[in-house]
Structure 1
Amino acid sequence: MTSATSLFSPVEADLRLLAENLKNLIGARHPILYAAAEHLFSAGGKRIRPAIVLLVARATMRGQEITQRHRRLAEITEMIHTASLVHDDVIDESEMRRGLPAVHSRFSTQVAVLAGDFLFAQSSWYLANLENIEVIKLLSEVIKDFAEGEIQQGLLRFDTGLTIDSYLEKSYYKTASLIANSSKAAALLSDASDAEAHKLYQYGRHLGLAFQIVDDIFDFTSSAEGLGKPSGSDLKSGNLTAPVLYALEEKPYLEELIDREFAQEDDLEQALALVRDSQGIQRAKELATYHAKAAIEHLSDLPPSDSRQALIKLTDYVLNRSY
């Protein structure tokens, strides 16, 4: 399978510059806030979201050099994503992130919440300085969607009546919104037509949904070392994902276990076994594949380029990555 490093070769130099700039953009005057933010960006990560922004920028500039506003948009995208991760780790009580202690584990819950808020605020300030009202609207929508997704996830815990459509809506808010709206924003900064920008929004939407579905499959197929959290953590917390929703159609006893919130000994282990013994994981893979293929279809109008080819190959990477 193609590695993320080789996949992003058309924007390799851009990503190196982004990594250097991120710490400079923090600008926190308080040492604790600065240390928390620096800790996050030092942990690295694959930088998939800013890479997509830069690839879309290069694909839509059609051989011309990308602008400083494209680069700043990629940096803003990574700041927004990182801020959401800090808050997610607090809500989920996750102890590790990218192989390092989560911010709330290393510092405190209060510092983590403030660090996340600070990064959202900083990203908003840099966003406003792009002075493009459409782009500002798109990325502001993302921050609202993150909150909507977390609220929905909290309200729908252990709800066996959840539909696949509602699950996909929640997945859009939590993951796909950022990829979709930042892809569209990159196209708009290239002066792409509204129709082309909309197609790139749809590319990001479908890619983001595929990404989240594959993430949810990992809860049943990956080790704790790969995930950075115990296997079955999502199910244990009542977050019902595609593999579970499909398994519920086959395994009636699974609904009983979920309804009583795994209160009895071995309930969770039984539930995990039922999901793995069903067609739930396979059907979830098929759903992810459908969205990955739909993403590719929305790139058809882009002229051939290394960046366009990387955006196509990214769908295969999303489907087949190990974690």
Structure 2
Amino acid sequence: MTSSTLLFSPVETDLQLLTDNLKQLVGARHPILYAAAEHLFSVHGKRVRPAIVLLISRTTMPNQEITPKHRRLAEITEMIHTASLVHDDVVDESELRRGSPTVHSLFNNRIAVLAGDFLFAQSSWYLANLDNLEVVKLLSKVIMDLAEGEIQQGLNRFDTGMSINAYLEKSYYKTASLVANSSKAAGLLSGVSAELAEDLYSYGQNLGLAFQIVDDILDFTGSTETLGKPAASDLKSGNLTAPTLYTLEETPYLETLIEREFAQEGDLEQAITLIKESSAIERSRELAAYHAKLAVEHISKFPDCDSRKALIELSDYVLSRLY
């Protein structure tokens, strides 16, 4: 399995610069908000989203140096992603994120909500200063989509009638929209054609969906230590993902457990057993692999280079997290 560090080697220096810049961009005018933001950017995530932006920037600017606007777009992408995580953790009442305490558990809900708002506002400000209306529209839509995804998830808790298509739509809003639109935006900053910009969008859309489906599988197959949060936390909170929805098709009794919201002792454990004993995990893997394959088809249209190779390998890396 290729590590993300090795995978992102074509943009390793760019990512280090990004990490250094993020703390400076947040600014230190308010000590508590700054402390919250500094904690967020010190938690060592894989920086997958800005890495994709930087890899696409290098793929679409062959034999040229990427511009300060490309770098700023990568920073904005990570700020938007981080802001959404802070708000998600408050809504989900999560105590851990990537194995570290969440902002609201370190401070309180009020500070966490303000820190998320602050990061969204900061990202919007830097976005406007890119002076590219098309890019502003794309990333502004992402912020709307993130809210839409969270609302859909909240309204559909413990809804056993939810379809796989509805699940994919919610996954697009919550995860894939940011990857899709920031991928397209990177291409637009490089001046690619409208057709190639759509290919970049489709690459990000399908990679983002594959990434989310894999995350949802790992919620059942991973340990609390590797997940950095309690296992099966989505199911417990009523967030029904691909493995659960596929199991419902095979094992109608699961519906009973979900609709009474695991109120009786042993309900949750029984539900997890039913999911693991069905073909749902394998079907979910196939769904993730389908979207990863589509992502590769769209990025393969670009000229061969180390950055494009990394973008292709990234689809394998996403799937390899399951093994």
TM-score (norm 2): 0.99
Deviation at 1:259, TM superposition (A): 1.0
The answer for the alignment partner of 1:88 in structure 2 is 88
Aligned partners of 1:218, 1:255: CA distance in 2, in Å? 21
Q: Is the 8 A contact 2:97 2:229 kept in 1?
A: no
Task: For residue 299 of structure 2, give the secondary structure of its aligned residue in structure 1.
Answer: coil
Cα-to-partner distance string for 1:223-267 (whole Å, 9 max, x where unaligned): 111112221110011100000110111111101111111111101
Q: Is the 8 A contact 2:99 2:227 kept in 1?
A: no
The answer for the alignment partner of 1:172 in structure 2 is 172
Q: State whether structure 2 residue 112 is matched by structure 1 residue 138.
A: no
Cα-to-partner distance string for 1:67-122 (whole Å, 9 max, x where unaligned): 00000000000000000010111111111122221100111110000000000000
How many residue pairs match? The answer is 323
Deviation at 1:301, TM superposition (A): 1.7
Cα-to-partner distance string for 1:193-216 (whole Å, 9 max, x where unaligned): 010010000000000000000000
For the aligned residue pairs, the C-alpha RMSD in angstroms reads 0.9
Cα-to-partner distance string for 1:157-212 (whole Å, 9 max, x where unaligned): 11111000000000000000000000000000000001001000000000000000
Aligned partners of 1:322, 1:20: CA distance in 2, in Å? 31
The answer for the alignment partner of 1:190 in structure 2 is 190
The answer for the alignment partner of 1:150 in structure 2 is 150
Aligned partners of 1:302, 1:153: CA distance in 2, in Å? 36
Aligned partners of 1:139, 1:314: CA distance in 2, in Å? 22
The aligned runs of 1:67-106 (5 Å cut-off) are 67-106=67-106
Letter in 1 for 2:98: R
Letter in 2 for 1:40: L
Letter in 1 for 2:13: A
Aligned partners of 1:101, 1:40: CA distance in 2, in Å? 10
Deviation at 1:143, TM superposition (A): 0.3
Q: State whether structure 2 residue 21 is matched by structure 1 residue 21.
A: yes
Q: Is the 8 A contact 2:51 2:74 kept in 1?
A: yes
Percent of aligned pairs with the same residue?
74
Deviation at 1:44, TM superposition (A): 2.0
Aligned partners of 2:21, 2:98: CA distance in 1, in Å? 20
Aligned partners of 2:153, 2:127: CA distance in 1, in Å? 27
Deviation at 1:286, TM superposition (A): 0.2
Letter in 2 for 1:238: G
The answer for the alignment partner of 1:290 in structure 2 is 290
Aligned partners of 1:292, 1:32: CA distance in 2, in Å? 40
Task: For residue 250 of structure 2, give the secondary structure of its aligned residue in structure 1.
Answer: coil
The answer for the alignment partner of 2:206 in structure 1 is 206
Aligned partners of 1:321, 1:47: CA distance in 2, in Å? 16
The aligned runs of 1:298-313 (5 Å cut-off) are 298-313=298-313
Q: Is the 8 A contact 2:100 2:228 kept in 1?
A: no
The answer for the alignment partner of 2:108 in structure 1 is 108
Q: Give unmatched runs, 5+ long, in structure 2.
A: none
Deviating more after overlay: 122-131 vs 57-66: 57-66
Aligned partners of 2:268, 2:25: CA distance in 1, in Å? 44
